[in-house]
Amino acid sequence: MLKENGYTQAKACKVLDIKQPEVSALMCGKFHRFSQECLIGFLNKLDLKVTIEISRHRSGEPFQNVQMQAM
């Protein structure tokens, strides 16, 4: 999201209120370094709505699925 929207690391630091090494980790896809709550908070700071949907698991499908709608 940061790269797609043209955020520099400096701008992302200000918007997300985190330090440069953390922004670097995000931009490199190292999401495991952050809690789910923290990641959702980052998305909210980028003015994005997060919706969590719970449904029954069907055989053969993944247990977790992340989808993004076109903006």
This prediction has a pTM of: 0.78
Q: In the structure, what pLDDT confidence band is assigned to residue 8 with cuts at 50, 70 and 90?
A: very high
CATH topology of domain 1-53: 434 Repressor (Amino-terminal Domain) (1.10.260)
Q: In the structure, what pLDDT confidence band is assigned to residue 41 with cuts at 50, 70 and 90?
A: very high
Q: Which of 48, 41, 45 has the alpha carbon at shortest distance from 12?
A: 45
Round to whole Å and give the CA distance between 53 and 41. 17
Asked if pLDDT for residue 9 goes beyond 80, the answer is yes
Concatenate the DSSP letters of all residues of 6-38 into one string: T--HHHHHHHHT--HHHHHHHHTT-GGGS-HHH
Report CA torsion sign: 54, 39, 16, 5.
negative
Percent of the chain with pLDDT strictly greater than 70: 97
Q: In the chain, what are the domain boundaries? A: 1-53
